[in-house]
Amino acid sequence: MSNVDTYRDAFLQMLADGATYLEAYQKFDETMWREAMNTEIMCGGTKYNHKTFVYETKDGKPSLLDLASRAHGEERNLKDLEQAIELMGAGWVSERPNGAPCQVMSLYWRAPSK
């Protein structure tokens, strides 16, 4: 079993145990993760799935690139959430565009009345 498979299996097990993508990603050494991810990419071990819009292995498992991307997405969302909490504390009001669920960064914000 290669580092790539070991990392992927450990990551997926952490997700199954209830960790978020970010929590699971933070358990790995970033340099070693990048080396394994580059190995996976350079060996042609991934393909793009046009139905799910992710890179996955030939046997349908998520690629290390996809797992890392989801973790970094969660990290960005946390930063956006911190800013949203500050705005709400200052009296700003948020609305969802078209009432649909969306990321925090996509909310419409209105300043408090003066």
Looking at residues 83-97, what average pLDDT do you find?
A: 88
Q: Say whether pTM exceeds 0.85.
A: no
Which amino acid is it at 100? A
* 58 neighbors 40 (Cβ within 8 angstroms): no
DSSP letter for each residue of 67-96 = HHHHHHHHHHHHHHHHHHHHHHHTT-EEE-
Q: Kindly calculate the radius of gyration of the chain based on its CA atoms and give it in whole angstroms.
A: 18
What are all long-range contacts of 73-79, with beta carbons under 8 Å and residues at least 24 apart? 73/21, 74/20, 74/21, 74/22, 75/22, 76/105, 77/103, 77/104, 77/105, 78/22
pLDDT 10s digits, 36-56: 999 888 887 788 888 888 888
User: Which pLDDT belongs to residue 70?
Assistant: 92
User: Which pLDDT belongs to residue 80?
Assistant: 87
Is the pLDDT score of 107 beyond 60? Answer: yes
Query: Three-state DSSP class for 106?
Result: helix
Query: Three-state DSSP class for 22?
Result: helix
